[in-house]
Structure 1
Amino acid sequence: MKHIGWLVETSEGPMLLLLSDHAEALTYCEDGARPVKLYVDEAELADHEAAQEDSA
């Protein structure tokens, strides 16, 4: 599994942020709360990236 981003709950529903946006994700968290790590299956990600490259 590969950590790729963050999930935070907002008043408008869940928000997904990129791994590089950790500081922004924290701004949506209440005191004491932390963003939830989002993971993907590395093999599925590799297959997706390969298919995207084939289409380009």
Structure 2
Amino acid sequence: MLRSDMTIQEVSALLGFSEASTFSRAFKRWTGHSPSMNLHSQANSAARTVSGNKGTTH
């Protein structure tokens, strides 16, 4: 999940799941972790990337 502005319910509906819980279970089966854990991990990764680029010049 790359867009943190979307809810699990929105993503599941866009992917054709009738219930967010069904999507969450499928996502966990596919990836080994929950969608919310994935979202949290991506947010932390993005924050580290941004903070890691401070002070660099191009």
Question: What is the TM-score normalised by the length of structure 2?
Answer: 0.37
Structure with greater proportional helix content? 2
Question: What is the TM-score normalised by the length of structure 1?
Answer: 0.37
Structure with greater proportional strand content? 1
Higher relative contact order, chain-length normalized (CA < 8 Å, sep 6+): 1
